[in-house]
Amino acid sequence: VIHYPYLSLRRSVEKWSFYWKGPSLIQASYDAAHGKPFILDAPGRRHTLVSTKQHIKDLDNAPKDVLSLQAAAKIMLQPKYTMHSFNWPDKKGLDGAPLTRTLRAFLRHDLGRILPKTRVRNEILLRNMVEESQGRPSISHVFHTLVASTHSLAFFSDDLVNDTEFMDAALDFIFRVIYIAEPLNLLPEFLQPMIGTLVGWMCPSQKVMFDKVRALAQIRLDEREQASRGIKGPEHRDCLQWVIEQTHKLRPWSADKVDPWSAERVTHEMIALWFGAMHSVTSTLNYVIQDLCLHSEYVTPLRMELESAAFKAFEATGEGLPLLESFIKESQRMNPLDLVGTRRLALKPFTFSGGHQVNAGEWVCTPLTPMLKDSAKWAQPNEFNGFRHVSSEILDSLKDRHVYGSIQAERPLPITDIREWQTWGTGKMACPGRFYASAMMKQILGLIITDYDCTMENVNQNRNFSWRTVYIPTTPCITLKQRAH
Ligand code: HEM
C-alpha cells in the first residue's frame, strides 16, 4: 500500500517519457522482444507492436471494423477541427473507397500525361525561387511549392493552380492541421470540442480551401448532371473527377451506402488527401536532398542516368531510373517519417496468431524504424548505401563502381513494392498514392540534380526530432548554385 503511490507515479512518468524518448524505448523493446509482440504505453494510449511476417499478415487480414486505420488517423489528425468538420467513418469503405482506385489505377496510369506538364511548370517555379533568393532559397519552401503545384495539377487540373488565395491557404492548411491536432491530443477528451472549435475558427485556411474545392466539385457535379441529359461539357482528367465518377458506380457489394457523394463529401475527401499527400512527400524530399549533400559521390552517376534515354522512358510511364530510385529508397530506409508504421486502432478486441490479445481502444502498429535498420535483414544497417537497392548488373556498369557499397539483393524490389517494406504501410491498406509519389519525387529531384549543385551548411545539425511516434524533420540550410554545364 505504501509503495502504491510511488509505483503509480513512476508508471505515469514512464508513459509521459514516451513523448521524447520514443526512438530509444522502441529500439530497446524491439531488441528484447526477439520477434514477439511487445507493448509500449504512452499517456492514454497502449500500443502493441508486431514485426513478424505472420503477425503483419494477421494485422492486414483483420476485419476493417476491428483494426482501423481510419479511426487511428481520426484521432491523430482531429479532422473535425482541422479539416472543416470532416467526420470520416471509422470503418473504411462504409460509403465506398473511391480514392483508392483513383490513386492506384487512374492517377498511376495517367502519369505519362501529367509528368511532362509538371516538369515544365516546376522547372520555371524552381528557377524563379533560386533567382529571387540568389541561390539560397528555403529548401522547405521550394519543396512545398513544387509539390503543391504538382498535386494541384494532378488533383484539380488547371482549375486552382493559378488561384493564389487557394494555393496560399492550401500551404498554410497542412501546417495548421499538425499545430491544432497535436495539442488537442494532449487535452482531456471533454475539453477537445470546445478548444478544437475555437482554434479551428482561428485558422481560416481550412475554410478557404473547403469553399474553393467545394465550388469546383459542385461545378463538376452539375456538368455531370447536364451530360446525363445530353448537354455535353468539358472533359476532365484529374483526381477530383475520377473520385466523383467512382462514387456514381458504388454497388451494395462494394459499400454499405451506395448513394453518389455530395459536393461536400467529395471536398472533405480531397482536402484530407491534400494533407496526406503534401506532408509525406515534402518530408521525404527534405531528407533525400540532405543525403545527396552529405554523399556527393552519388551526384555524377545520378546525373548521367537523368541525362540518358532512361529519363524519357521514365517520363512516359512514371517508372524507372533505378539509380535515383535506389537512392530515394535508401534515404527512406535511413530516415523513416514515423517511428512506427501501419497504425491501427482496435475498435473491437483482436487476437494475433500465438495468442497475443489487444483490447478495444488500444493501438496496434509495426516498429518501423528498428525494422528498417535490423542487422538480420540489412547488411551494415546504419551505413547509408545509396545504390544498395539496384541489381548487380546496374552497379557493375558504373564507372567508379568501387566507390559504392554492395547490393542488398540480386533481384531488388522496386520502391513501390510493399513486400517486407513498411514505409508505405501494409497490404490492402498500403499507400495507394505511392506510384504517383515516387514518380513526382524522382521528377523534382531530377530537376534539382541536373541543373544545380547543392551544398548544405551545418552538416552536423540534427535532421529531425521525435515526438511521440512521429519524426519531425528540421529544415536544413541548403544552397543551390546553377550548374556549369
Ligand atoms: C513519400 C510519400 C508518401 C509516403 C511515405 C506515404 C505513406 C503512407 C502510409 C504509411 C500510409 C498508411 C498505410 C497503412 O497504414 O497501411 C498511407 C496511406 C495513404 N496514402 Fe500515402 N504516402 C505518401 C504519399 C502519398 C501521396 C502523394 C498520396 C496521394 C496522392 C497518398 C495517399 C494516401 C492515401 C489516400 C492513404 C490512405 C489509404 C487508405 O485509407 O486505405 N500518399 N500513405
Please tell me the distance from the alpha carbon of residue 418 to that of residue 434, in angstroms, as a whole number: 10
Domain enclosing residue 144, as ranges:
46-482
37 found inside a domain: no
Query: Residue 1: what pLDDT?
Result: 47
> Which atom in ligand 1 lies closest to the alpha carbon of residue 422?
10
- Residue ID of nearest Cα to ligand 1 atom 39: 429
- For the chain, the domain total comes to 1
Question: Residue type at 370?
Answer: P
Reported as a single tens digit per residue, the pLDDT across 337-379 is 999 999 999 999 999 999 999 999 999 999 999 999 999 999 9
d(CA 101, ligand 1 centre) in Å: 13
Residue 36 cell numbers, joined = 514477439
DSSP designation for 338 = B
Query: Residue 2: what pLDDT?
Result: 52
- Residue ID of nearest Cα to ligand 1 atom 7: 424
What lines the ligand 1 site, CB under 6 Å? 69, 92, 99-100, 103, 273, 276-277, 280-281, 284, 337, 341-343, 423-426, 429-433, 436-437
d(CA 277, ligand 1 centre) in Å: 7
d(CA 424, ligand 1 centre) in Å: 6
- Residue ID of nearest Cα to ligand 1 atom 24: 277
16 found inside a domain: no
Where residue 31 falls (left for φ over 0; alpha for ψ -120 to 50; beta otherwise) is alpha
316-326: b (≥16 Cβ within 10 Å) or e: eebbbbbbbbb
Q: Which of 280, 329, 438 to mutate to test the pocket of ligand 1 (most atoms within 8 A of CB)?
A: 280
215 pLDDT band (50/70/90 cuts)? very high
Residue 325 cell numbers, joined = 530510385
- Residue ID of nearest Cα to ligand 1 atom 18: 431
Binding site, annotated residues? 431
- Residue ID of nearest Cα to ligand 1 atom 36: 431
Question: Of 444, 415, 442, 409, which Cα lies nearest the Cα of 431?
Answer: 415
Q: Which of 286, 423, 431 to mutate to test the pocket of ligand 1 (most atoms within 8 A of CB)?
A: 431
Percent of the chain with pLDDT over 90: 80
Residue 8 has pLDDT above 80, yes or no: no
Reported as a single tens digit per residue, the pLDDT across 112-164 is 999 999 999 999 999 999 999 999 999 999 999 999 999 999 999 999 999 99
Query: Residue 128: what pLDDT?
Result: 97
> Which atom in ligand 1 lies closest to the alpha carbon of residue 441?
1
Q: Report the greatest alpha carbon distance in the chain.
A: 81
Residue 22 cell numbers, joined = 520514443
Binding site, annotated residues for heme? 431
464 found inside a domain: yes
93 pLDDT band (50/70/90 cuts)? confident
d(CA 400, ligand 1 centre) in Å: 36
Question: Of 412, 215, 441, 169, which Cα lies nearest the Cα of 328?
Answer: 441
102 found inside a domain: yes
> Which atom in ligand 1 lies closest to the alpha carbon of residue 343?
15
Query: Crossing angle of helices 434-451/111-132, nearest 10°?
Result: 40
Q: How far is CA 153 from CA 110, 119, 157, 221, 435, in A?
A: 12, 11, 4, 19, 16
326 found inside a domain: yes
67 found inside a domain: yes
Mean pLDDT on 105-109:
97
CATH classification at residue 53: 1.10.630.10
13 found inside a domain: no
Please tell me the distance from the alpha carbon of residue 25 to that of residue 31, in angstroms, as a whole number: 10
Query: Residue 463: what pLDDT?
Result: 85
361 found inside a domain: yes
d(CA 159, ligand 1 centre) in Å: 24
> Which atom in ligand 1 lies closest to the alpha carbon of residue 283?
1
